[in-house]
Chains A and B, each alone.
Chain A
Amino acid sequence: AQRVTQPEKLLSVFKGAPVELKCNYSYSGSPELFWYVQYSRQRLQLLLRHISRESIKGFTADLNKGETSFHLKKPFAQEEDSAMYYCALLNGGSQGNLIFGKGTKLSVKP
């Protein structure tokens, strides 16, 4: 079954510390993965997608097919990074639906 697992409900770090939000997936084909972010009282927005291999706001995520992981990393956390982060897997075929993890709330303390 296709599934996205984010094992941490809450992750709390101090400003300037490295941060890693974990995401593991289960998918039979070649996965397309995304990270979405939701800042307080705002809409969900795309942070990055693995196909672009980009760095947004200092965040990166590498797809590791051997470990079926797509962890989100940032070397130095900022207070404005505090938000809810969702890992999502594109359900292939004609549906194109996103399968979301349960989310991780990142809290960056001053």
Chain B
Amino acid sequence: NAGVTQTPKFQVLKTGQSMTLQCAQDMNHEYMSWYRQDPGMGLRLIHYSVGAGITDQGEVPNGYNVSRSTTEDFPLRLLSAAPSQTSVYFCASSPRASSNQPQHFGDGTRLSIL
């Protein structure tokens, strides 16, 4: 099993550009989430999904959209990139919401907005 796969690993964008960060898991997990990791801020939740067709906002959702059309995929869309969105983005999954099973993380996407 590949676990949680994120693409791309690195990306540089110009302000105002849009792009989609891909996340896929092959563990049939119901719960998926996106975090951003910034120095001194830890990990902050952007959006999450408790199952296919269901998404909700986390702590810092502004400027990002998500969808969950399948159990496996949970893409994160930047609508109009801003320098404040320069960060490392992590996707994670776990068997189900409110599970005390550990979340599995992807390798991350390092995104720079110029």
Could you tell me which A residues sit within 8 Å of B by CB distance?
6, 9, 32, 34, 42-46, 49, 51, 86, 90, 92-103
Contacts and interface: CB of A to CB of B under 8 A. Distances in A.
B102 to A, nearest CB: 4
B102 A34 contact: yes
B99 interface: yes
B61 to A, nearest CB: 12
B53 interface: no
| For the complex of A and B, 6 pairs with smallest distance between CB atoms | A96-B97, A46-B102, A102-B42, A96-B98, A100-B43, A44-B105
B25 interface: no
Interface in B61-114: 90, 92, 94, 96-100, 102-103, 105-108
Residue among B92, B102, B106 with the most chain A CB within 10 A? B102
Given A92-B98, A98-B43, A100-B44, 20 more contacts: A43-B105, A43-B107, A44-B90, A46-B103, A49-B102, A93-B98, A94-B50, A95-B48, A95-B50, A95-B97, A96-B50, A96-B96, A96-B97, A96-B99, A98-B33, A98-B92, A98-B103, A100-B43, A101-B42, A102-B42
Contact of A86 (B40, B43, B102, B106): B43
Contacts, number: 60
**Interface residues of A, dominant DSSP:** loop
